[in-house]
Amino acid sequence: MRRVGFWLVMGLLTGALTACPRGEDAAGTLQVDILGLPAGTRVTVEVVGPNGFAQQLTQSETLTELAVGSYLVTAGAVPGYTAAVVGSPATVSAGATTRVSVTYQVSGVGAGGSISGTLSIVGTAVEASAAPFVPGEVIVKFRPGVRAQAVGALERLRDLPLEGVGLYRMAAELRAQSTDLETDTLRLVAQLSARGDVVYAHPNYLLEAYAEPNDPRYAEQWHLRAVNLPAAWEQTTGSADVTVAVIDSGVAPTHPDLTGKLAAGYDFVSNAQFSGDGDGRDGDPTDPGGDFHGSHVAGTIAAATDNGVGVAGVSWGSRILPVRVLGRDSGDLADAVDGILWSVGENVPGVPTNPNPADVLNLSLGGPFPCSSSQAQSLQDAFDRANEVGAVVVVAAGNDGADASSSTPASCGGVIVVGATTLAGTRAPYSNYGARIAVMAPGGNLSGDGDANGYPDGVLSTVQNPAGEADYAYFEGTSMASPHVAGVVALMKSVRPTLSGAEARDILKTTARPITDPLCAVGCGSGLIDAAAALAALETPAAPDFALSLSPATVSLAAGASVSTEVLISRSGGFTGEVAFSVSDLPSGLSASFTPSATSGDSTRLTLSATTGVTGEYTLEVQGVGDGISSTVPLSVVIEGDEPDLDIAGSYVFACPTTARVCNVGRLPAVRIETGGSSADYTIPDVPAGDYNVIGWNDLNTNAQVDNGEPIGAFPTINTPSVVNPPASGVDFTLAPALGTQVGVQGSLKGR
């Protein structure tokens, strides 16, 4: 690990230049010292002597074996400086060293001396985000009546169809200054989140599909039988009045198993650079190529069936609404929010109204970040609105082989989270798991051929081959599991159009078949879905019941702070009773309270409070009980420790000439702060006369260069530095993590 090393040019470099002897009496030495200039300043000092001797010096030099006699030393001009030559003309004698000094000082200032003051430091370091996002873009919700123009660091890109929510970009000036736009984006999010006029702010995270394709081929669809669909089709094959939105990468509209199945969709990918179709938003949700992930998902849900070609779909009587939010490699959160809200009939600025609002939404996509109030509240708001209008949201759990509470949208509230199983009915090794999982469905495993039919045990559905022809391929992933559930929900909606998301989730869970696989010890929900049993449950007159959901379903708070989430009650079967609430699995140091603690209404607010000594990630169980009926829902909680305050120790204070284009720290008068704490006195000794900016910097990662997020400051402030002439005292200022590089006081900084 390298640390910034400071050194001063002492003006002595022996043996650098020699002069040829000038006759037999040549035996003298002349030392010329050039002083007072910042390192790197161009200067020429001329030395003229006997026998036609002439030499130009650009730095302090020792001239040896000179002819005895008189030497004239002349100082070259340096803009902004005056020079004093002491000892010239100089007489060089045999066997002796004669010294001449050339001292430069800034014009019009005093003789130099020390610079002293008090240096303070504030703020905390910014943690890097493991989840990818669009650098420079943030999603912000302002409080009512607040105008975004109040934040000079932002440029509005567009409004999202949520009250007070918009997509913003870091101001052009800050983007131009930045050398690490990702870090600066996180710092901007932190600064916005701390404002009283901001409800939430988070990066515009990137989302990607949850699947891995294989070579195209056709074989039997074991995965449809695995969830008892043949028996379910005896009851219904789906209704054209039920529309399923496939919020994905688009579809192949000319595929014979999709032709005639598609409602008019929309392409919401706004960034033409990775859209794959060469343009931005438009009314054509065609998948331009790649793995045809969205087409595969759409085929599983509602491929044309009994048409003599291809494959069968789960709810083949239903329609597909293609909503394209993924480009060739990924998509961003803002586009996904727009796509979700448009799919359920909400107005999106600049986009035609959707004439076919969806009853069911499938999202086989996601990202490695929690759906918490500080990370993805805009997405949670979109799901809340979808639930309010009666849509059922089904999402893939993710393919990281990890707890689903760490990914989005699986950690969001108001969604049915689906994990993946193999042909053998076990949890697929890639499938996410945990308390967020509601049910499991076939996702396949391309590494096996358990039925020995010569084909990998993936999920078979509709794609397009590289030649642009309709084809079929095996994929694996929770992306393939989720559309099985979305299709079954579409069948259920065909029988009971008023079915809510909470009701659908409860029915799927109560009719699922438990999985005894040891891999499910970490959480596979209620087990593998049973389509026929779920439909049969709808035939029985609905008994009084209720189901709980959370908004958000993942919360984060700092130790010593509080956070709230809304507990929503979905009533069915005429249930009107009072519901009382409790929380289990609370760790020591975390308390919970409900307002109200019991209600006959549709919601209550749960507030969690953490003491200063508790940190970590926890899954709590929120329970409601009323009239002998109970319902539970998991709540993911992240308690973050207090970020340590930045320490003044290790900071450098240095004097940078106002004429310098580059403040090269290692070659300037400087002092290192050795004592810890939030402030310390400093003194920079022996500063040559001149005009200076006094700058402070703490090289936190010891890489010898100034990085964004590192504490930096100048006297009196980094944005309005003042000239300091030594000697000077009371030069007090503060270091703080900067937004943008903000290091160009008179140029740029370098570590060495």
Domains defined for the chain, CATH in brackets: 17-106 (2.60.40.10), 113-122+645-750 (2.60.40.1120), 133-206 (3.30.70), 210-528 (3.40.50.200), 549-640 (2.60.40.10)
Give the C-alpha separation, 748 to 751, whole Å: 10
Q: Which of the following is catalytic: 295, 479, 549, 651?
A: 479
Give the pLDDT confidence score for residue 4 in this predicted structure: 24
Computed over every residue of the chain, the mean pLDDT equals 83
- Residue 742 reports pLDDT greater than 60: no
Collapsed DSSP state (helix, strand, coil) of residue 5: coil
Q: Which of the following is catalytic: 248, 457, 471, 530?
A: 248
Q: Is 241 a catalytic residue?
A: no
Q: How far is CA 426 from CA 107, 421, 515, in A?
A: 82, 5, 7
Give the C-alpha separation, 35 to 15, whole Å: 19
Q: How confident is the model at residue 486 (pLDDT cuts 50, 70, 90)?
A: very high
Among the listed residues 432, 435, 455, 456, the one whose alpha carbon sits nearest the alpha carbon of residue 446: 456
Give the C-alpha separation, 243 to 211, whole Å: 23
Most confidently modeled range among 84-98, 162-176, 337-351, 638-652? 337-351
In terms of pLDDT, which residue wins out, 612 or 410? 410
Q: Is 279 a catalytic residue?
A: no
Give the C-alpha separation, 712 to 705, whole Å: 12
Among the listed residues 697, 716, 699, 710, the one whose alpha carbon sits nearest the alpha carbon of residue 740: 710
> Which pair of tokens denotes residue 559?
């130790």
Helices (H) and strands (E) in the chain, counts: 11, 43
- Residue 699 reports pLDDT greater than 90: no
Q: Tally Cβ neighbours within 10 Å of residue 639.
A: 23
- Residue 745 reports pLDDT greater than 50: no
Which amino acid belongs to residue 528? L
Residue with tokens 């704490």: 677
Segment 458-470, tens digit of pLDDT: 999 999 988 889 9
- Residue 563 reports pLDDT greater than 50: yes
Give the C-alpha separation, 349 to 105, whole Å: 63
Do residues 116 and 684 lie in contact, with contact meaning Cβ atoms separated by under 8 Å? yes
- Residue 182 reports pLDDT greater than 80: yes
Q: Is the dihedral of CA 31, 37, 41, 47 positive or negative?
A: negative
Give the pairing of strands 17-18 and 61-66. parallel
Q: Is the dihedral of CA 48, 49, 55, 59 positive or negative?
A: negative
In terms of pLDDT, which residue wins out, 612 or 627? 627
Among the listed residues 332, 644, 176, the one whose alpha carbon sits nearest the alpha carbon of residue 184: 176
Q: Is the dihedral of CA 234, 240, 241, 246 positive or negative?
A: positive
Give the pLDDT confidence score for residue 703 in this predicted structure: 66
Segment 426-458, tens digit of pLDDT: 999 999 998 899 999 999 999 888 888 888 899
Q: Which of the following is catalytic: 202, 255, 293, 484?
A: 293
Query: Span 348-356, mean pLDDT?
Result: 95
Burial 511-525 (b: 16+ CB within 10 A, else e): bbbebebebbeebbb
Least confident of 66-80, 94-108, 367-381, 727-741: 727-741
Give the C-alpha separation, 402 to 432, whole Å: 5
Q: Is 479 a catalytic residue?
A: yes
Give the C-alpha separation, 388 to 557, whole Å: 27
Give the C-alpha separation, 695 to 752, whole Å: 15
